[in-house]
Amino acid sequence: MHTAEDPSPPLPRLYSEFAGWFHLLTHPDDYAEEAAFYAALIRENATIPVREVLELGSGGGNSATHLKQHFSLVLSDVSPDMLAVSRTINPALEHIQGDMRTLRLDRQFDAVFVHDAIEYMLTDADLRQAIATAHAHCRPGGVAIFAPDAVKETWRPRTDSGGHDDPDGRGLRFLEWTHDPDPDDTTFICDMAYLLRDPGGAVTCEYDRHVMGLFSRRSWLEWLEDTGFHPHSVPLAHSEVPHGEVEVFIAHKP
Ligand SMILES: C[S@@+](CC[C@H](N)C(=O)[O-])C[C@H]1O[C@@H](n2cnc3c(N)ncnc32)[C@H](O)[C@@H]1O
C-alpha cells in the first residue's frame, strides 16, 4: 500500500477498481494442476503433519479453491477488494486483510504458501520482510513455499494474451507485455491492456501497469537461510511450462 512512509507504487488497478473482473482474467479452473503440485510439495517437505496453511497474497482465491481440498486454509491479502472477490468462491474460509511484509497474526501454521503475489515485493527489504512474515507464521517442522513466476537468471521478456467469458454476458480479454527497462535493478514492468465487455455488449479498453520484483536465485536462497529456514529450489512441474523455466523455493523451518 502506498503511504508516506512506504515508497512502493500504488497497487495495480486490477486489485482495486477492476477486482470484480479478476476471475475473467484468470479463472480458478486454470490453477488445478499447479495447486496439486504445491500441495504435494508442502506434504513432502514438511516434517510435521500439515493441516493448517496460511496463504499470503491470496488474491482472487484461485489457488485456494484447490488447496482447500487438502488443507484448512486461512487467506490474507493487502487488497480488501481482492478479499471480497475470493470470498465469492471461498465463502467458508477465513479472510484477513494485511500486507505480507508486516502481517503478524500471533498464530502459527503447519505451512505458509506464497504464490505469484510475492512478485509485488520490489526491493531486497520488501522480500526479506515477506520471508520474515512467512517464518513468523510457520511452526517448527513446517514449510514455506514461495512461487515467483521468475528469477533473475531465467527471466525473459514476453507477451501473453487470454481471458474468459461469463454466463451473464460479461467478458474480458487481456494483452500482457513484460519488459525490463533497467536490468540492474530488482524490478521489471508488466504492462497490461484489458478489453472489458459489459453484459450489454459495450467494450471499453483500460491500461494498467504492474511493477514486479525480480531477484536472483542466490539472493532468494541466502535470505531464506538468513531468516532461519533450510531452503532449496525445484523446477515447477507443469504441462504448460517448459522444464526449468520456473523455479519454486521450498523453505523448511527446522
Ligand atoms: C496475481 S494476484 C494473486 C492471485 C492468486 N495467486 C490466486 O490464486 O488468486 C496478486 C495479489 O497480490 C496482492 N498483493 C500485492 N502486494 C501485496 C502485499 N504487499 N501484501 C499482500 N498481498 C499483496 C494483490 O492485492 C493481489 O491480490
57-76, pLDDT tens digit by residue?
Answer: 999 999 999 999 999 999 99
Confidence band, pLDDT 50/70/90 cuts, at residue 100 = very high
Identity of the residue numbered 37: F
What pLDDT was estimated at residue 6? 67
What pLDDT was estimated at residue 5? 61
Please give the share of the chain, as a percent, with pLDDT higher than 90: 93
Confidence band, pLDDT 50/70/90 cuts, at residue 8 = confident
- The residues spanned by each domain of the chain are 13-151+214-252, 158-212
In this predicted structure, the answer to whether residue 214 has a pLDDT above a threshold of 50 is yes
In this predicted structure, the answer to whether residue 1 has a pLDDT above a threshold of 60 is no
Contact 172, 195 (CB under 8 A): yes
Answer whether 15 contacts ligand 1 (Cβ < 6 A). Answer: yes
In this predicted structure, the answer to whether residue 139 has a pLDDT above a threshold of 60 is yes
Answer whether 95 contacts ligand 1 (Cβ < 6 A). Answer: no
In this predicted structure, the answer to whether residue 34 has a pLDDT above a threshold of 70 is yes
In this predicted structure, the answer to whether residue 101 has a pLDDT above a threshold of 80 is yes
Residue closest to 233 by CA, chosen among 242, 224, 241: 224
What pLDDT was estimated at residue 9? 79
Measured distance CA(183)–CA(96) in Å, rounded:
35
Answer whether 77 contacts ligand 1 (Cβ < 6 A). Answer: yes
Write the residue with the smallest CA distance to atom 2 of ligand 1: 59
Torsion angle (degrees, nearest 10) of CA 250, 77, 29, 162: -100
Please give the share of the chain, as a percent, with pLDDT higher than 70: 97
The per-residue pLDDT for range 166-199, each reduced to its tens digit, is 999 999 999 999 999 999 999 999 999 999 999 9
CA of 61 relative to ligand 1 center, distance in Å: 9
Residue closest to 30 by CA, chosen among 162, 120, 156: 162
Measured distance CA(241)–CA(24) in Å, rounded:
21
What pLDDT was estimated at residue 2? 45
Q: Which architecture characterizes domain 158-212 according to CATH? A: Single Sheet (2.20)
User: Which atom of ligand 1 lies at the shortest distance from residue 64's CA?
Assistant: 8
What pLDDT was estimated at residue 142? 98
Contact 120, 22 (CB under 8 A): no
Residue closest to 129 by CA, chosen among 95, 96, 94, 98: 98
The fold of 13-151+214-252 is: Rossmann fold (3.40.50)
In this predicted structure, the answer to whether residue 4 has a pLDDT above a threshold of 60 is no
